């Protein structure tokens, strides 16, 4: 090998290692932003269920940290595209990150809202059965978000699929919780005002499920190169099955 | 000029003209998607206010067209980045398009929901004053979305600023409409079920205002290179003022 080619090869390897490190850095930032958002959801739900107004206030005041993370990572994505001109899989990864952080930020917004509503209804009497339902719903959407981020971290399309599956169940729980709240309002119209704040919070939880589903869909796109947004659960299932069987063929 | 340099210059000009045509194509597709979304909002609001269940149904069935437009334009954005490796302003434009169509698609989702709720409450008795308020709110958020897209089409940061300004007013109208609905529910608890569908629709209108504000913020970023998301109206105002004065200095 002549010296200049060797130099070039070393340079390219060096550049590619740096690039890999940059991609890894972005990936870690997304996961750390996800951790932040997850603790916001957990605190917001806790505040709502326990009637802890102080905690609710704190959640709604801390949303700026999630927002700042989004702006930073978004800036990094733009810089990496401009500087590295990534192709194929790498480009898809950076673009999927840009979308994922938008959904994470919106999940943060929903947690902020729940925190705000929680502080408004903190001192009110609370119907036990409804709040048990809300607790279950909150725990399920948190799990969805965690699974969506795990799927993203491991590029695991099967796990991403399980998020879409869970959303079907969460939508059912949401409908049933809304019906409970309505029954309560009809039985005692004086509760309409506080119960509406509860209803908005329940709605916010349901939206967190939707955003987590979006993140799962970006993962399927990232792994399989197929955009599965706006398709049915069955269609996503087929794409994931074809990814798995292609991976198996490659392994044979 | 030697022939090979001339050839290269011609080639570059040719490539750049093709690239410009591709950017123009994307821009036009965004505006046409915007037109589609706008007519979805208009029809959904009409269905809700006139109690036209058939129209509401049609709106909710037609959301797939908005979704398809999003997937197509998103695919084009990815291809253009991979093929053209755009820099600076061009890259910012393509990334802003990718974000704008996500918000347009979510506006389409909100219109779909309003359509669905409209068909559920179509045959119910409707409180006139509340529905007049809803009509005004719907017309204001439609105007916001139109202005956001106009700002995008003309890269007009002043107009983008006016969208953020309008959102403050829309949030006020939203709060007042919610209060009206609640009064109605308290006066006659039998209306709780249908009024909740009305409330969800009002909430959807408010979110359309939020998404339009997002689009306006992408335009400010595009023109001024400064990310103004998650900042106050006053902060956005300052950025826009500095863009205007820079433009004026350049013109002097």
* CB B63, CB B111: distance < 8 Å: yes
Average the pLDDT over B203-210 and give the result: 97
Q: Which of B66, B187, B192, B210 to mutate to test the interface with A (most CBs of A within 10 A)?
A: B192
- Residue that the structure tokens 């205007």 belong to: B244
Kindly report the average pLDDT of chain B as a whole number. 89
Average the pLDDT over A228-247 and give the result: 77
Q: Which two tokens stand for residue B75?
A: 């695919």
The least confident of A70-74, A76-80, B66-70, B84-88 is B84-88
Residue A208: is it exposed, middle or buried by C-beta count within 10 angstroms (0-12/13-18/19+)?
buried
Judged by CB atoms within 8 Å, which residues 94-123 of A form the interface with B? Answer: 95, 98-99, 102
Q: Say whether B77 sits in a helix, a strand or coil.
A: helix
What residue of B is the nearest CA neighbor of A89? B82
**pTM: predicted TM-score of the whole model, two decimal places:** 0.88
Predicted confidence at residue A114, as pLDDT, reads 96
The whole-angstrom separation of Cα A87 and Cα A82 is 12
Judged by CB atoms within 8 Å, which residues 10-49 of A form the interface with B? Answer: none
Chain-chain contact of A196 with B192 (C-beta, under 8 angstroms): no
Tally of structural domains, chain B: 1
Per residue in B4-33, pLDDT (tens digit) is: 566 655 655 556 788 889 999 999 999 999
Helices (H), chain A: 3-50, 53-61, 63-84, 88-121, 128-154, 157-187, 192-224, 233-251
Predicted confidence at residue B73, as pLDDT, reads 96
Q: Taking CA A176 as the corner, what is the angle to CA A171 and CA A178, rounded to the nearest 5 degrees? A: 95
* CB A91, CB A44: distance < 8 Å: no
* A102 vs B contacts (CB less than 8 Å): 99, 102
CA distance B28 to chain A (A): 22
The domain that contains A178 carries what CATH number? Answer: 1.20.58.220
DSSP secondary structure letters along A28-76: HHHHHHHHHHHHHHHHHHHHHHHT-HHHHHHHHHTHHHHHHHHHHHHHH
Contacts of B66 (CB under 8 A, 6+ apart): B33, B36, B37, B40, B104, B105, B108
- Tell me: pLDDT of B203 over 90: yes
Per residue in B99-146, pLDDT (tens digit) is: 999 999 999 999 999 999 999 988 887 778 888 999 999 999 999 999
Please, which pLDDT band fits residue B2 given cuts at 50, 70 and 90?
low
Residue A8: phi and psi, rounded to 5, are: -65, -45
Range of the domain at B49: 3-251
Residue A125: phi and psi, rounded to 5, are: -65, 140
Task: Name the CA radius of gyration of chain A, rounded.
Answer: 22
Q: How many CB atoms lie under 10 A from the CB of residue A48?
A: 30
Chain-chain contact of B82 with A87 (C-beta, under 8 angstroms): yes
Q: Taking CA A31 as the corner, what is the angle to CA A27 and CA A34, rounded to the nearest 5 degrees? A: 140
């Amino acid at each position: 090998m002549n010296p200049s080619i060797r130099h070039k090869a070393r340079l390219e390897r060096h550049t590619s290692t740096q690039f890999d490190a940059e991609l890894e850095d972005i990936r870690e930032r997304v996961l750390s932003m996800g951790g932040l958002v997850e603790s916001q959801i957990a605190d917001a739900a806790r505040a709502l269920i326990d009637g802890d107004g102080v905690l609710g206030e704190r959640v709604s005041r801390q949303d700026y940290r999630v927002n700042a993370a989004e702006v930073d990572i978004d800036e990094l994505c733009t810089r990496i595209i401009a500087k590295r001109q990534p192709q194929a899989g790498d480009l898809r990864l950076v673009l999927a990150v840009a979308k994922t952080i938008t959904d994470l930020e919106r999940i943060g917004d929903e947690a902020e809202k729940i925190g705000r509503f929680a502080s408004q209804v903190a001192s009110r009497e609370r119907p036990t059965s409804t709040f048990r339902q809300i607790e279950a719903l909150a725990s399920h959407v948190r799990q969805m978000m965690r699974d969506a981020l795990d799927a993203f971290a491991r590029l695991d399309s099967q796990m991403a699929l399980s998020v879409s599956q869970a959303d079907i169940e969460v939508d059912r729980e949401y409908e049933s919780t809304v019906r409970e709240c309505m029954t309560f309002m009809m039985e005692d119209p004086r509760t309409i005002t506080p119960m509406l704040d509860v209803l908005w919070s329940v709605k916010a939880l349901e939206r967190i499920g939707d955003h987590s589903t979006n993140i799962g869909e970006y993962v399927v796109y990232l792994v399989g190169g197929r955009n599965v947004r706006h398709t049915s659960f069955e269609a996503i299932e087929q794409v994931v099955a074809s990814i798995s069987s292609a991976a198996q063929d490659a392994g044979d």
